[in-house]
Structure 1
Amino acid sequence: MLNLNSWVTPDRRNLILLNPDVLATVLRYVQIGSQDPEAGGILLGKVRAGNLEIIEATEPTRKDLRSRFFFIRHQNDHQKIVKQRWEDSEGQVRYLGEWHTHPEDFPSPSGTDLREWRVLAESRIDGRPLLAVIVGRKGLHVEYMHKDGRRVLLSHLLETCLSLV
């Protein structure tokens, strides 16, 4: 698997850095077995001059609904973590988005994913787009969803740099 820590928007104006611990967390839930259920959680981090540093990914809880082809996050358990991190960091660590798995090598969002991301993006208090990550067996799908439904697909920073050579 490629280095999946650094992602960039097509205009190269916004960078997303995924902490190695975040990657380790989400990669634990890759759906390798034929019966492995989807998993997911929220992404927490810091905004730095328009760039995002993702420092934590919550893990599925007992109350989340999980099956082979869907994941429904129980809001209260994850929301408690968001609130605690916000308070502990004096507003520096915040909710930035969502992650979940798909039983695909190179995942792509479903219609349900896109609808849910749009609702979440519309509810963002800070007006920032929602960061959405889907974890597949061999790669990640990383994108921004804006409240108006506009989508921005991000690329591996290494991949982008190599294509410029």
Structure 2
Amino acid sequence: MTDWAAHEGRCLIHLLPDVITLFHEYVQRNPSDPESGGILLGTVHGPHNQVVHATPPFPTDRRTRCSFDRGSEGHTEVADQFWRESSGIIRYIGEWHTHPEDYPSPSGIDLREWKISAAKRTDGRPVIGLIVGRKAIYIQSTSATGKALVYQALLGNCPALGH
């Protein structure tokens, strides 16, 4: 598990090993690798989140070198299944995608989409936006008002993605 903190440690995100393994599979190592992405599913513990599953790209997703658009099939069905099987404990908590850069940062499109997704949430919780780069991961939560909280990997917990 890797741990990330924001707001002086008052907000934590835990990524389970299977989630990190999935991210490793989709790192854009080669010039021809398209962006990949999916949704993040997990549990909520007050201001803290534990990411227990990330969906992989599905055939209906549109993927190019520098863009990822989630398609209409696959991701929602997986989220619904986790919700049902966990009696509502495991839920949608955000989005992930890759960038073809070593140390990723969100684009204007990413920031806008995260704010829109947060505004649509019926539970009022922020959306976690996670970007997988070639050497690092970027994590941010965004509220419906657009307020962003950037997370930092806790010392010794950041996974190496460049392999």
Q: Is the TM-score greater than 0.5?
A: yes
- Give the Cα separation in 2 of the matches to 1:45 and 1:85: 9
Runs of 4+ off more than 3 Å: none
**Does the 8 Å CA contact 1:10/1:155 hold for their aligned counterparts?**
no
Of 82, 96, 99, which residue of structure 1 is paired with 2:96?
Answer: 99
- Give the Cα separation in 2 of the matches to 1:37 and 1:23: 19
Give the alignment of 1:39-54 within 5 angstroms: 39-54=36-51
Cα distance, 1:51 vs structure 2: 1.1
TM-score w.r.t. length of structure 2? 0.93
Runs of 5+ consecutive residues of structure 2 not aligned to the other structure: 158-163
Give the alignment of 1:49-88 within 5 angstroms: 49-88=46-85
Tell me, what secondary structure is at the counterpart of 2:145?
Answer: coil
**Does the 8 Å CA contact 2:58/2:73 hold for their aligned counterparts?**
no
Q: How many residues align?
A: 157
Of 147, 152, 156, which residue of structure 2 is paired with 1:150?
Answer: 147
Aligned partner of 1:36 in structure 2 is: 33
Of 131, 134, 142, which residue of structure 1 is paired with 2:131?
Answer: 134
Runs of 5+ consecutive residues of structure 1 not aligned to the other structure: 161-165
The RMSD of aligned alpha carbons is: 1.4
Residues 93-120 of structure 1: per-residue CA shift (max 9 Å, x gap) = 0000000000000000111111111100
- Give the Cα separation in 2 of the matches to 1:36 and 1:50: 35
Give 1:84's aligned amino acid.
Q
Cα distance, 1:159 vs structure 2: 6.7
- Give the Cα separation in 1 of the matches to 2:151 and 2:138: 8
Match status 1:113 vs 2:114: no
**Does the 8 Å CA contact 1:31/1:137 hold for their aligned counterparts?**
yes
Of 19, 22, 43, which residue of structure 2 is paired with 1:25?
Answer: 22
Aligned partner of 2:161 in structure 1 is: none
